[in-house]
Amino acid sequence: MKLPVNLLIGAVLVALVLGAAALSLLWTPHDFTQLNVRNKFAAPDATYWLGTDQLGRDLVSQLTAGARNSMAVALAAVLLGGSIGTALGLLAAAIGGWVEDLVMRIADIGFAFPALLFAIMLAAVFGPSLTNAVLAIAFINIPVFARVARAAANQVWTREYVAAARAAGLNRFAISKDHILPNIAAPVIVQATIEFAVAILAEAALSYLGLGAQPPSPTWGRMLSEAQTLMYQAPQLAVYPGLCIVAAVMGFGLLGDGLRDVTDPRLVRER
């Protein structure tokens, strides 16, 4: 089968970002917290590949460490929100009736609720932190996954093998676990990849507003935020994290679209 171009480009970008993030766990060219005020705004050279920032910290080290933090936040948020949302969607499809209506109406309200507002509320009450950023992003993911999981699950529920499982005496929860979940895995994973891109962007936005990662922990959003005041003096400080965000969001977005293309049998048939 011929793989779609968006899948290939997405996979390459994602591999680069994840590779940088993984590498930063073991090794960065320099300590990214190391201040060196005498060497601030250094131009790129053999030691500092992209130069240094206003406090003389190595940019490459900060960007790779930032990749790690951004990925961790996005992963935790999507896993948490995705699990809760998928579970809710499965539950809604399994029980049906007013329970399904209730879950989906709550999901609608969740959809309508501005994520940023929720994050600001969390920060106001519990103080800004990376954990609260994760919780806020997870929260906005719940209704997305609830909808996707419920729609896919309702389709699987009409299959005859589900009726056969009922005839075998399985209850709705056992059927959801044994038959529904494995058969909705593909669309849920596709959605997770797309939501991962959204989560990276959300984390960047929250950190930019000072509601996410706190100093000295670098994330791309916070780097962007700090670079903002130096826009005219050292525009490269904003450009690099910006490019990283674009690459990561595009990568996961394309990967998600590509996965949807290859897993959706309707689209495969049309090709």
What's the min distance (Å) between Cβ of 271 and other proteins? 12
Based on the shown chain and the rule CB under 8 A, indicate whether residue 173 belongs to the binding site for other proteins.
no
Give the residue, chosen from 34, 171, 229, 233, that forms a contact with other proteins under the rule CB under 8 A: 171
Looking from the CA of 247 toward its CB, the CA atoms found within 13 Å total: 20
Based on the shown chain and the rule CB under 8 A, indicate whether residue 182 belongs to the binding site for other proteins.
yes
Q: What is the DSSP letter of 271?
A: -
| Cα–Cα distance measured from residue 156 to residue 150, given in angstroms and rounded to the nearest whole number | 10
Which residue matches tokens 């990276």? 200
Which C-beta is closer to other proteins: that of 184 or that of 200?
184
| Cα–Cα distance measured from residue 230 to residue 245, given in angstroms and rounded to the nearest whole number | 19
Based on the shown chain and the rule CB under 8 A, indicate whether residue 164 belongs to the binding site for other proteins.
yes
Looking from the CA of 19 toward its CB, the CA atoms found within 13 Å total: 7
Give the residue, chosen from 161, 173, 229, 243, that forms a contact with other proteins under the rule CB under 8 A: 161
Based on the shown chain and the rule CB under 8 A, indicate whether residue 125 belongs to the binding site for other proteins.
no
Which C-beta is closer to other proteins: that of 174 or that of 267?
174
Which C-beta is closer to other proteins: that of 126 or that of 161?
161
Distances (CA, A) of 58 to 208, 210, 241: 20, 22, 13
Cβ neighbour number for residue 121 with a 10 Å cutoff = 12
Based on the shown chain and the rule CB under 8 A, indicate whether residue 183 belongs to the binding site for other proteins.
yes
Give the residue, chosen from 17, 50, 78, 165, that forms a contact with other proteins under the rule CB under 8 A: 165
Based on the shown chain and the rule CB under 8 A, indicate whether residue 177 belongs to the binding site for other proteins.
no
Exposed e or buried b for every residue in 233-250, given b needs 16+ CB within 10 A? ebeebbebbeebbebbbb
Based on the shown chain and the rule CB under 8 A, indicate whether residue 97 belongs to the binding site for other proteins.
no
Which C-beta is closer to other proteins: that of 112 or that of 167?
167
Positions in the binding site for other proteins (CB under 8 A): 159-161, 163-171, 174, 178-179, 182-183
